[in-house]
């Protein structure tokens, strides 16, 4: 990766799983000799920008203020056309849609999209935008599960090349003592403990699990 340049495109750079995951990817790219940058549509939610900057990943916020914001779109197009990146990776379908519209064809940028859930294309307008704009421009799509890949194919039909990369976390160097850990957390021996690694947000559907 020495000398390569990679641009991550976010709609929001809030504290979330995708944002944390690609912070680690950016660090790995830099260690391998590549350049990593981040572009954020809605700057008011750039909560993780300081962490990215501290890791050596410059963050540019475009200040999008509405769903259809012409000033934002022209800023996006100007940014993307000012230089060529080896890889442009949009980390959500909305980010990929606007990037697909603004990115020049024929420059050699490899354009990747991402999908990591099963709700993005329930609205007809979103399906049409993906089918007729984004999927025709993408060079590849990253998904995190077979179910997500099947969802994309069933909703969109036309598809770019799909790369399935599962979520995961490195195992600790030594297994923790289960009883000691439960004691540290104040969990009694007879109590049932449920652990989730997702943030507490409606989209993560923790309420559905509790309701069961």
**pTM as predicted:** 0.81
Half-sphere CA count of 46, side-chain side, radius 13 A: 21
φ/ψ (deg, to 5) at 130: -70, -45
Secondary structure of 115-134 as H, E, C letters? ECCCCCCCCHHHHHHHHHHH
Instruction: DSSP letter for 202, please.
Output: G
Q: Give pLDDT, residue 117.
A: 85
Residue 187 scores a pLDDT above 90: no
Question: What end-to-end distance do the CA atoms of the chain give, in Å?
Answer: 47
Encode pLDDT of 43-92 as tens digits: 766 788 999 999 999 999 998 888 888 999 999 999 999 989 999 999 99
Q: Give pLDDT, residue 193.
A: 80
> What is the distance between the alpha carbons of residues 103 and 105, in angstroms, rounded to a whole number?
6
> Which two structure tokens, joined as six digits, stand for 29?
């790219």
Q: Which residue has the higher pLDDT, 24 or 167?
A: 24
Cβ pair 96, 141 in contact under 8 A: no
């Amino acid at each position: 990766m020495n000398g390569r340049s990679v641009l991550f495109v976010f709609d929001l750079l809030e504290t979330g799983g995708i944002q944390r995951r690609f912070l680690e990817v950016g660090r790995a790219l830099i260690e391998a000799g590549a350049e990593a940058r981040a572009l954020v549509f809605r700057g008011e939610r750039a909560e993780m920008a300081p962490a990215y900057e501290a890791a050596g990943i410059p963050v540019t916020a475009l200040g999008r203020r509405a769903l259809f914001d012409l000033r934002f779109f022209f800023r996006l197009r100007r940014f993307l056309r000012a230089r060529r990146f080896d890889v442009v990776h949009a980390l959500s379908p909305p980010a990929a849609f606007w990037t697909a519209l603004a990115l020049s064809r024929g420059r050699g940028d490899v354009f990747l999209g991402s999908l990591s859930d099963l709700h993005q294309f329930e609205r007809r307008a979103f399906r049409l935008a993906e089918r007729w704009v984004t999927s025709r421009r993408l060079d590849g799509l990253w998904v995190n599960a077979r179910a997500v890949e099947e969802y994309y194919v069933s909703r969109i039909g036309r598809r770019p090349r799909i790369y399935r990369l599962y979520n995961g976390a490195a195992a600790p160097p030594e297994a923790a003592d289960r009883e000691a850990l439960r004691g540290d957390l104040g969990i009694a021996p007879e109590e049932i403990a449920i652990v989730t690694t997702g943030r507490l947000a409606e989209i993560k559907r923790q309420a559905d699990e509790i309701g069961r």
